[in-house]
Amino acid sequence: DGSGYPKGLKGDEIPIEARISAVADIFDALTSRRTYKAPWSNDDAFAMLRRLADTKLDRDCVDAMLKNIDKVEEIQQRFRDAGVV
């Protein structure tokens, strides 16, 4: 939306890699335990991504993640099984 750091880019001015990373980073931040907050449920995090689509996040990138919820949860489980999370 042009409010990003450092160059105030918006839309297609933002490299696709950065748009994808932003969606993944926000999802991870919301669903991970932090010293200052409990982890959000996946459902709550996905709902937040939907709210941020078109304003702070790229809708196509959010939609791609939402179309692959099963894969996202499979990856989360692999990390839990490995003791990483």
pLDDT tens by residue, 62-71: 999 999 999 9
Report pLDDT for 3: 75
- The model's pTM: 0.87
For residue 41 the two structure tokens come to: 């449920």
In the chain, the amino acid numbered 19 is R
Report pLDDT for 1: 67
Q: Is the pLDDT of residue 6 over 80?
A: no
- Print burial letters for 41-57: b (CB count within 10 Å at least 16), e (below 16): eeeebbeebeebbeeeb
